[in-house]
Amino acid sequence: MDRIKIIGGNRLNGVIPISGAKNAALPLMIASLLTDDTLTLDNVPHLADVEQLIRILGNHGVDYSVNGRRQHQDGAYSRTVHFTARQIVTTRAPYELVSKMRASFWVIAPLVARMGEACVSLPGGCAIGTRPVDFILQGLEALGTEINIENGYVHAKAPKGLRGAEFTFPKVTVGGTHTMLMAACLARGDTVLHNAACEPEVVNLAECLNAMGAKIKGAGTPTIYIEGVEGLSGARVKVISDRIEAGTYAMAVAMTGGDVLLKDARPDYLRSVLDTLSKTGLEIKESEEGIRVARNGLDIVPTDIETQPFPGFPTDLQAQFMGLMTRAKGVSHITETIFENRFMHVQELARLGAHISLVGQTATVEGVERLLGAQVMATDLRASVSLVIAGLAAEGETTVNRVYHLDRGFERLEEKLSNCGAQIERISG
């Protein structure tokens, strides 16, 4: 099993290209099930989750082709991938595929919308909380879907097609908003979604569906209006840049010091994060190229955060921020409001010398003068990269084990960091 070895202490200087967003690419890929025409996606990142979803879509009969990887001057790669679901060969998504990635459960929406039925295994994914699919099923039922759960599978049927409805999410849910957008665009009549997620990835999906012929208004606000259409066509859409990756590398620079241009990063996707990082002492400059971040000799200022749905501080950057606060000059408080089990990285950071205490959903981080390298274990995608951030500043050698979590969401992380001066390498086997 691969692991990553880091020798800490190096500042980061240079350019880090920001890849396409995993959390945007996955629902866009799933949207290909809604049409028998080809959906072409540009800027698709090369990640384990993307490859797994390609296998899941292939199970349903989706053909795909890749234009190849086009190398840019800065060394980054982007891919253009064509997805064609000319014929759905099965509406069953088996456990052995869905259990490996939670987002794969979202195929239930386009399958029911286009085929009138679906049989999808209850999902798996990172062990960071229950993340129930209840809201997704409630939304589909509101559109006229008959739902039965037997032997770990959700059986969904709408033999007469879906019908528009007004639905209020009990809690803001990105996955629920994605699935309802895909289902409602082929429903008869109008659908109104209240308390919808406002994340940029939701907007990216709505823009994709509109390019395919859907009629969606209000994406990016809590109320979305969908006018159902009879069918969708193909389209060509670009995956937005990954705000979580950009925020992660910004925190790495805040941790190590240095000066890095986060190429193609979008400041409007990261406003709350940038405001928070500026309070820690990070210098931030926005430009057409992206976001330049720098910290030169200043102490890290302790700063409190509370995770919130967009446009608040994202839960997917909570672990990374905790890694940064382990070296702050003072005490900070980090409150997690989205997932109930997203502090599994605390014990691993403690192995590096961090002082962190937990009370309920709030972590109190007492900054330390130095971290010391150690063997640590990645527990989930975002937790794993918090250990990398800490390792970049730790004295001596840090080894991060079980880095397959990293491969799910960070494209060539060790290469991007080493190009900016980090002493980091992947060890296979």
Which residue ranges are tagged as binding site for UDP-N-acetyl-alpha-D-glucosamine?
102, 316, 338
Amino acid at 52: Q
Distance, CA of 318 to CA of 383 (rounded, Å): 9
Annotated binding site: 22-23, 102, 316, 338
Given a contact cutoff of 8 angstroms between Cβ atoms, the answer to whether 252 and 389 are in contact is: yes
Going by their DSSP bridges, the two strands 258-263 and 38-44 should be labelled as unpaired
Distance, CA of 415 to CA of 422 (rounded, Å): 9
Distance, CA of 337 to CA of 58 (rounded, Å): 36
What token pair was written down for 378?
């990645």
To the query of whether residue 126 is one of the catalytic residues in this protein, the response is yes
Distance, CA of 155 to CA of 118 (rounded, Å): 6
Catalytic residue among 126, 185, 198, 420, which?
Answer: 126
- Give the torsion sign (CA, 355, 361, 362, 367): positive
HSE of 81, CA atoms in CB hemisphere, 13 A: 23
What token pair was written down for 228?
């159902």
Burial of residue 426 (number of CB atoms within 10 Å: 0-12, 13-18, 19+):
middle
Q: Which residues pair with 217 in a beta bridge?
A: 225
- Segments in 218-266 forming alpha helices (H): 243-256
Annotated binding site for phosphoenolpyruvate: 22-23
What token pair was written down for 400?
């991060």
The residues annotated with a catalytic role in the active site are 126
